[in-house]
Amino acid sequence: MEHRFSFANAMLHFAQARGPGGFIWKYALAYLLAVLLMGGLAYVLFQPLIGLFTNVLLQVAQEAMSGDDIEVVMTREISGMAGRIVFSYIGLLLLTALVWSMFEAAIQRRYVREEGFSIGIGADEFRLLLVALMWLLFNIVGYLASAIIAAILGAVIMGLGGGENFALGFSFPIVFLLAAFGWLYCTVRLAPAAGLTIRDSRLQFLNAWGASRGRFLPLFFAYVFLGIIFWIVFTVLYSGGAAATFSIFMANFGSIEQIEANPAELIFFVLQGRFIASVVGIYAVLLTINGLLAYVWAGPASLAAKTDPRGGGIAQAPDVFA
């Protein structure tokens, strides 16, 4: 049964999720479009800063500006546009959070409601923004609590060790491991929060603790294995992206020595539209694959929400660790 909660089903929920067909390609296409639009908006917002760096690079390539001149010009120009940079950054950060909530809501509706692909701005998206805010507060409180507990445990260990230096060195790994395990345990137990929020159409965060009761190990190991797979995928993809970018350089330059002998030629090449378009295309594809991996990553916790042992989910069945 694909709806029974288990280690295997949690890992493979992305492939077993029910609902109307065509979700994956619609999601990927929409994500690619969002990446390109966000990139274009970022360029528009930071165009004065980008133009400044471009102009400085051209001046350097033409040997029309010295190192001291660069520092003076950069300091003066950036100071003049500091307000725009700050507000643009804040606006882009908020918009990024909104876009994230739109795609996360689409994912969760697929997983816990078995709906087709849909994207927009509505109650689901704003509830997920509140969930993200709760996660931020959780991490802040967690860091503060870890610091306090670390100080207390460190003092206790130092006291037991008679204040010797070796006791201080011994206390660090113990405190670190305890804090890391506590944070990890709570994070896994609260992971179904987004799925529960979409399922119940109301904010759920601490209530996610009940949905993961007795499921910590299957969830934990599902994420461990997915993390290992993602690490391999990221390594291969980004190595391929770097290799593709490097190949573009080498297709236009005979050797590394040529670049070292004439760095101005490299600067002019980097500023060409065809090079910029090639790099943007490569990394737009890589970011879209990141979005697909985010869809996979949401699977285990969403299955926990969908098969909540307290009831409320679409499917209910006994849990197994298989």
- Residue 316 counted as domain residue: no
Average pLDDT over residues 165-183: 72
Count the domains in the chain: 1
* Residue 308: band (very low, low, confident or very high) from pLDDT cuts 50, 70, 90: confident
Query: Is 317 contained in some domain?
Result: no
When pLDDT is cut at 50, 70 and 90, the band that residue 261 belongs to is: low
Mean predicted confidence (pLDDT) in 232-256: 78
Residue 192 is predicted with a pLDDT of: 93
| Pairwise CA distance, residues 94 & 162, whole Å | 51
Looking at 86-100, 174-188, 237-251, which range is the least confident one? 237-251
Q: Is residue 322 part of a domain?
A: no
Q: 266 in a domain, yes or no? A: yes
Contact (Cβ atoms closer than 8 angstroms) between residue 110 and residue 14: no
- pTM for this prediction: 0.81
Average pLDDT of span 21-36: 91
143 lies in which domain range? Answer: 7-13+22-306
| 3-state secondary structure at position 305 | helix
Q: Quick check: 83 and 66 in contact, CB under 8 A? A: no
pLDDT given at position 221: 94
Task: Name, of 19-23, 117-121, 146-150, 264-268, the range with top average pLDDT.
Answer: 117-121
Contacts 24+ apart (CB under 8 A), 246-249: 248/275, 248/278, 248/279
Q: Is residue 289 part of a domain?
A: yes
Closest to 105 in 3D by CA, of 86, 82, 81, 129: 129
Look at residue 179 and tell me if it is in a domain.
yes
Per-residue pLDDT of 29-52, as tens digits, reads 999 999 889 888 988 888 888 777
Give how far Cα 118 sits from Cα of 26, 106, 202, 203, 251, Å: 9, 6, 19, 20, 42
Residue 316: predicted pLDDT: 47
Give residue 29's pLDDT: 93
Count the residues in the chain.
322
142 is a domain residue: yes
108 lies in a domain?
Answer: yes
